[in-house]
């Protein structure tokens, strides 16, 4: 058994024994609050830590769960075992609507929207007569579990912590899956994820709803634990506190949620006793201390407290269990010589700048087409037009006979176009293997629930086997367990190529793949490109290393100032005075 599983087992035993020990009731109550908070903060780990979306509104979702439970039980006598589902359904719908409205917009819109949402729910709850206004609903009954009333802190403890552990396990599973990789990939921009076929908007909404559902369960438990609900624990102050717990514990780690919730809850109580003694009067001084701590954490320990624990745990490589998995099915490749990509008079203007000026070229199956030109010639922009990252101002792009210029990039990826980026885009905190498996996103289909329940393992093995196969092919078979962020630039580029290949494309677009590569790596890259061409793949290659371009391409398109200067074989291009002039920057 590994140290991690031993620690987990010890933790479970500790939880099972705690209520049986002569621990003062105060500490059982504390532990229960920590559990309630942990559920909410796990959602924030997914949302903020993993997907990069900041929410101050989680307390409001807790409120929806709590009020639904309290209202239905008190008014209609509905069993708590049913109200929890009602709360989940209601919270899920509200979160879906809010997410759908706000997640399309970028940057700071979501945090602001969640603040507005957190504030308005608080005032709404406080003004509804049926919900007891600011006094709330009193006398919520205890949950009955097979005839036993969970009306003591100790009996409630077991139900609560069972759910907390289930949530921790489910979210840990989710993060280690096809969906989890996609979720990590949308942090800080969806361009790369979309190029791998991930629906960035959808996956963000999914994370938002999931986080809201966890909060809702916490609210249900809260209502039956406190036996009363009123608006104050569901306001903006608590929303900020949840986020504080997540940041303090470590937004990227599921266990960080537990650490953050635990430290904040215990600290808060101690400070509430200590600070008035020190300062001689009472007030919410702990808020000031929390603010100072938050600044310190952000300054000196950006990854939160759990990162310190994590760094001291022995690093375990993922167990290689995919060697015997069935290979993934492969796309039928177009016959050699057929036109795969047909770019007709495509144009891109950025304000007054014409970055791509009515450029026309074709790529055929089993051919490597070089796209060269001085810096700023419009090569990367052409890539972005072909892959749907940017909309064309006008012109036509056809892939295997179908128009694609108006499609979003994930649709283009689905049709068989895969690419790398001039500036490497990856998930630095994932291993090389996981980054490459992200390229296989469209070749899998298992979703959130299957991942949480681990019903996705067979497909996962097939995906990882494919990812490893592509890494071996590109000469990185011995680095699969390394963190992508720790690689040098050259290997990062190779990893991107493996990721693009993992998508089983018919057309591969490589934007300066050899930049930062050493001589031997370049030789290996050339060998791989030739091999891929031999397999019938079409490649569009942007590259500044002229030796490589001349050696490996079949034809070359030369661009200058957005315009196509010439097209021909490597020999034609080398002999052209116009091309030489363009590179030397002289008039021709």
- Contact positions toward ligand ADP, by CB under 6 A? 350, 353, 355, 373, 375-381
Distance CA 100, CA 85 (A): 22
Task: State the minimum distance, in angstroms, from the CB of residue 414 to Mg ion.
Answer: 25
Please, which residue, 74 or 515, has the CB nearer to Mg ion?
515
Q: Is 422 in the site for Mg ion (CB under 5 A)?
A: yes
Q: What is the 3-state secondary structure (H, E, C) of 323-353?
A: CCCCCCCCCCCCCCCCEEEEEEEEEEEECCE
**377 touches which of ligand ADP, Mg ion, none (CB within 5 to 8 A by kind)?**
ligand ADP
Strand spans (E) along 70-154: 137-138, 144-145, 148-149
Residue 532 Cα distances to 92, 498, 508, 535, angstroms = 46, 12, 10, 5
Task: State the minimum distance, in angstroms, from the CB of residue 301 to ligand ADP.
Answer: 35
Distance CA 466, CA 474 (A): 13
Residues near 309 by beta carbon (within 8 Å), at least 6 away in sequence: 255, 259
Task: State the minimum distance, in angstroms, from the CB of residue 350 to Mg ion.
Answer: 14
Please, which residue, 349 or 482, has the CB nearer to ligand ADP?
349
Please, which residue, 309 or 354, has the CB nearer to ligand ADP?
354
Helix (H) or strand (E) holding 508: strand 507-511
Task: State the minimum distance, in angstroms, from the CB of residue 382 to ligand ADP.
Answer: 7
**350 touches which of Mg ion, ligand ADP, none (CB within 5 to 8 A by kind)?**
ligand ADP
Task: State the minimum distance, in angstroms, from the CB of residue 562 to ligand ADP.
Answer: 7
User: In the numeric block, which tokens belong to residue 75?
Assistant: 């008014």
Residue 48's DSSP bridge partners are none
Distance CA 325, CA 39 (A): 35
Interface with Mg ion by CB under 5 A: which range of 128-136, 364-372, 376-384, 551-559? 376-384
Please, which residue, 376 or 408, has the CB nearer to ligand ADP?
376
Q: Is 380 in the site for Mg ion (CB under 5 A)?
A: yes
Q: Is 58 in the site for Mg ion (CB under 5 A)?
A: no
Please, which residue, 239 or 370, has the CB nearer to ligand ADP?
370
| Contact positions with Mg ion (CB under 5 A) in 68-97 | none
Please, which residue, 218 or 409, has the CB nearer to ligand ADP?
409
**381 touches which of Mg ion, ligand ADP, none (CB within 5 to 8 A by kind)?**
ligand ADP
Number of residues that bind Mg ion (CB under 5 A): 3
Distance CA 66, CA 370 (A): 61
Beta carbons within 10 angstroms of residue 142's beta carbon:
16
Give me the residue label for tokens 């371009």.
Answer: 549
**261 touches which of Mg ion, ligand ADP, none (CB within 5 to 8 A by kind)?**
none
Count Cα atoms within 13 angstroms, Cβ side, for 449.
0
User: In the numeric block, which tokens belong to residue 160?
Assistant: 């609560």
Distance CA 93, CA 90 (A): 5
Task: State the minimum distance, in angstroms, from the CB of residue 582 to ligand ADP.
Answer: 12
Q: Which residues would be at the binding site for Mg ion (CB under 5 A)?
A: 379-380, 422
């Amino acid at each position: 058994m590994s140290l991690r599983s031993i620690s987990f087992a010890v933790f479970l035993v500790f939880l099972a024994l705690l209520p049986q020990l002569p621990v003062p009731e105060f500490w059982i109550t504390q532990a229960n609050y920590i559990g309630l908070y942990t559920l909410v903060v796990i959602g924030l780990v997914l949302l903020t830590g993993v997907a990069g979306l900041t929410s101050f509104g989680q307390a409001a979702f807790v409120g929806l769960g709590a009020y639904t439970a309290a209202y239905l039980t008190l008014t209609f006598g509905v069993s708590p075992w049913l109200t929890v589902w009602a709360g989940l359904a209601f919270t899920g719908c509200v979160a879906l609507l809010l997410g759908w409205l706000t997640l399309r917009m970028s940057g700071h819109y979501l945090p602001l929207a969640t603040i507005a949402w957190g504030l308005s729910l608080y005032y709404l709850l406080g003004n509804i007569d049926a919900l007891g206004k600011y006094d709330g609903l009193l006398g919520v009954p205890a949950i009955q579990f097979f005839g036993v009333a969970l009306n003591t802190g100790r009996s409630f403890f077991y139900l609560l912590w069972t759910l907390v552990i289930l949530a921790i396990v489910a979210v840990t599973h989710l993060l280690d899956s096809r969906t989890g990789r996609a979720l990590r990939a949308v942090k800080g921009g969806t361009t790369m994820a979309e190029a791998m076929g991930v629906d960035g908007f959808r996956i963000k909404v999914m994370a938002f709803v999931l986080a809201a559902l966890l909060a809702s369960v916490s609210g249900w438990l809260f209502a039956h634990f406190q036996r009363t609900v009123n608006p104050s624990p569901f306001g903006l102050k608590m929303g900020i506190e949840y986020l504080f717990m997540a940041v303090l514990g470590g937004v990227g780690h599921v266990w960080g949620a537990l650490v953050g919730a635990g430290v904040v809850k215990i600290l808060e109580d101690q400070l509430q006793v200590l600070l008035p003694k020190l300062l001689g009067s009472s007030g919410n001084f702990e808020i000031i201390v929390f603010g100072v701590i938050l600044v310190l954490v952000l300054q000196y320990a950006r990854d939160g407290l759990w990162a310190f624990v994590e760094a001291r745990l022995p690093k375990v490589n993922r167990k290689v269990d995919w060697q015997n998995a069935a290979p993934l099915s492969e796309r039928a490749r177009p016959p050699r010589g057929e036109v795969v990509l047909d770019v007709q008079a495509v144009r891109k203007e950025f304000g007054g700048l014409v970055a791509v000026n009515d450029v026309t070229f074709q790529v055929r199956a089993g051919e490597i087409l070089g796209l060269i030109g001085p810096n700023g010639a419009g090569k990367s922009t052409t890539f972005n037009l072909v892959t749907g990252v940017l909309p064309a101002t006008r012109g036509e792009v056809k892939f295997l006979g179908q128009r694609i210029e108006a499609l979003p990039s994930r649709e283009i990826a689905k049709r068989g176009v895969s690419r790398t980026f001039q500036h490497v885009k990856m998930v630095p905190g994932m291993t090389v293997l996981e980054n490459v498996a992200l390229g296989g996103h469209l070749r899998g289909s298992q979703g959130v629930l299957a991942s949480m329940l681990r019903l996705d393992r067979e497909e996962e093995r097939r995906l990882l086997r494919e990812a490893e196969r592509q890494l071996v092919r590109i000469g990185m078979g011995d680095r699969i367990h390394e963190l992508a962020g720790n690689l040098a630039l050259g290997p990062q580029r190779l990893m991107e190529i493996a990721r693009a290949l993992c998508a089983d494309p018919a057309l591969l677009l490589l934007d300066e793949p050899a930049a930062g590569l050493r001589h031997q790596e370049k030789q290996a890259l050339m060998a791989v490109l030739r091999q891929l061409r031999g397999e019938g793949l079409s490649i569009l290659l942007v590259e500044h290393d002229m030796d490589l371009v001349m050696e490996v391409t079949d034809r070359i398109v030369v661009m200058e100032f957005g315009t196509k200067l010439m097209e021909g074989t490597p020999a034609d291009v080398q002999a052209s005075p116009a091309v030489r002039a363009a590179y030397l920057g002289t008039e021709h």
